[in-house]
Structure 1
Amino acid sequence: MELSKIISSSLKYPFRNIAKLPIIFILFLLIAVIPIGRLLDNNYIVLVGVIAFFIFLLIVPGYFLGVVRKGSIESSLFPSLSLVDSIYDSIRVLVLRMVYMIVPTIVFFIAFSTLGASAADMLYGWQISNFLATLGAMLLLILIVYLIFEFLLLFAKARLAYLNSLKEALKINKVMGDIKKIGIVNIIKWIILMIILLVAVSLISSLVMAIPYVGFLIYVAVVIPIAESIGNYSLGLLYSNIIDNDNDLDKLEQEIKQFKYHN
């Protein structure tokens, strides 16, 4: 699928499923309960908000994995909300994230333990410039490693959605193979377009947030879920290019076999 079609289809996706949008809106309202409770200075509402937040974490990540899955098979429908499936998928998404963040976490602790050993000496010796340079280099290293694994995680999530297998999603070499099939250039173009879309959403959000109280609720319950729907569906559509290419390759191999057989 062409990149332009991916973006246009993704933008239309939430609005083709108007009937199911309220379900997502309600789910995202769960994370607004805590701020409301703090605003009203009501500990009971805050407690309800904490519970609601955990419910949100158990349902929403898994539901949006279903959105990625719909995109990967180029379906224009929203996934049906199944609590069991959503919770199961949310747990798998959480496990996937935890595994992919192991290396960035290790790099983080190694970097700061190394810095901690020499920071005191540099500061004691008034080597401020050396300290700042070392700190900057380590922060840059941590950021680069984090972004690399966040990038891999993105397509591991797409692989999990399509193959419905956590084991397959944890195979980094396979994920890298998927990325290669899609094409780094195509992915960069897609990321740039999604960033532009995010900026546009942010501009709209700033206008919405200007509305006292209600603006925050609209932002949380409407703007964010629509943006998430677009982003996850777009990821699925991007991943569908791998499937299309593989199917084309299978057809070509079958045609070659048939040709050899008849000759």
Structure 2
Amino acid sequence: MGLGDILSKSISYPFSDLTKFLIVGLIFVISDMDGIFYGLFGPNSFMAIIGIIIAIVFSVILSGYSIDVIKRGIDNSNEIPDFDFANNFVDGIKVLIIGLVYFIIPIIITLVLLFMFGAIGAGLDKMAGSLGIWAVFAVIIFIIFGIFAIIAEARFAISRSIGDALSIGEVFADVKRIGILNIILFLIVVSILLIVLGLILSVVTIIPVIGIVIVDLILGGFSMLFVNYGIGLLYSE
């Protein structure tokens, strides 16, 4: 399956079950309760704190749900999974652990690079020159480990084992099998499509509060299903 086919199937996937699409979008709205409650009740209100708690819990649930969507893509199934809030929450915590491990490594590497290039503890003139070199390396490292994290989540979707997701050697083998250029191209095209959709929907945000709800419902639900299903299809290749 070529990249065009993967993108085509991924775009149509959210519309294979409009009811579930809207349910995913609704969960996305709930996960944005911090912003909604902030707008309704102000930043220092008790309800704003409640909104933050709700947003965190449902964001974790969505992280776990994304794994079910990736698995559907790997299985080449057009079915949109149902929410299983308890299992989704547990999987979401595991996804956070996987992401933490993969992004701690580039953070440590970039800090080491800062010392190597003399950006830390140097004068302003030397720091300015060093930061340019450091930034290039940092961006490359974060992109590489970001790709590793995505493939790690696909491995986790299959086995539900954190150990499989953190097996960097196996993850590297999967990246090599799929092709890092294919992965990068997929991510670029997906990002462009979502940016365009976001710009189109941004017109709705002029409506106070309701505009945010509508954007979360449509863009949030679509991006969750579209991106993760595409990752699953890409991994299955």
Is the structural similarity TM-score above 0.5?
yes
Tell me the amino acid that sits aligned with residue 56 of structure 1: F
Determine the C-alpha separation between the residues in 1 that align with 2:120 and 2:185: 40
What's the CA shift string for 1:124-181, capped at 9, x where partnerless?
Answer: xxxx3x3311122222222221111001111111111123322111111111111222
Q: What is the SS of the residue equivalent to 2:99?
A: helix
Tell me the amino acid that sits aligned with residue 121 of structure 2: A
Tell me the amino acid that sits aligned with residue 143 of structure 1: V
Aligned equivalent of 1:4: 4
Aligned equivalent of 1:116: 120
Aligned equivalent of 2:205: 209
Aligned equivalent of 1:27: 27
* Residue pair 2:22, 2:221 contacting (<8 A) in 1 also: no
Aligned equivalent of 2:90: 88
Determine the C-alpha separation between the residues in 2 that align with 1:23 and 1:213: 19
Give the deviation of 1:67 after TM superposition.
Answer: 0.3
* Residue pair 1:201, 1:227 contacting (<8 A) in 2 also: no
Aligned equivalent of 1:253: none
1:133 equivalent in alignment to 2:129: yes
Q: What residue ranges of structure 1 are gaps of 5+ in the alignment?
A: 242-263
* Residue pair 2:31, 2:59 contacting (<8 A) in 1 also: no
1:189 equivalent in alignment to 2:217: no
Tell me the amino acid that sits aligned with residue 179 of structure 1: V
1:154-169, aligned counterparts within 5 Å?
154-169=150-165
Give the deviation of 1:97 after TM superposition.
Answer: 0.6
Determine the C-alpha separation between the residues in 1 that align with 2:200 and 2:170: 38
Q: What is the SS of the residue equivalent to 2:226?
A: helix
Q: What is the SS of the residue equivalent to 1:20?
A: helix
Aligned equivalent of 1:256: none
Determine the C-alpha separation between the residues in 2 that align with 1:204 and 1:60: 24
Q: From the superposition, tell whether residues 140 and 212 of structure 1 become closer, same or farther in structure 2 (CA, over 3 Å).
A: same
* Residue pair 1:37, 1:44 contacting (<8 A) in 2 also: no
Tell me the amino acid that sits aligned with residue 142 of structure 2: Y
Aligned equivalent of 2:14: 14
Once the two structures are aligned, what percentage of the paired residues are identical?
Answer: 32
* Residue pair 2:120, 2:127 contacting (<8 A) in 1 also: no
Determine the C-alpha separation between the residues in 2 that align with 1:196 and 1:219: 17
Aligned equivalent of 2:99: 97
Correspondence for 1:66 among 61, 65, 68: 68
* Residue pair 2:31, 2:57 contacting (<8 A) in 1 also: no
Report how many residues are paired.
Answer: 233
Q: Decide which structure has the larger Cα Rg and report it.
A: 1
Tell me the amino acid that sits aligned with residue 43 of structure 1: S
* Residue pair 1:63, 1:90 contacting (<8 A) in 2 also: yes
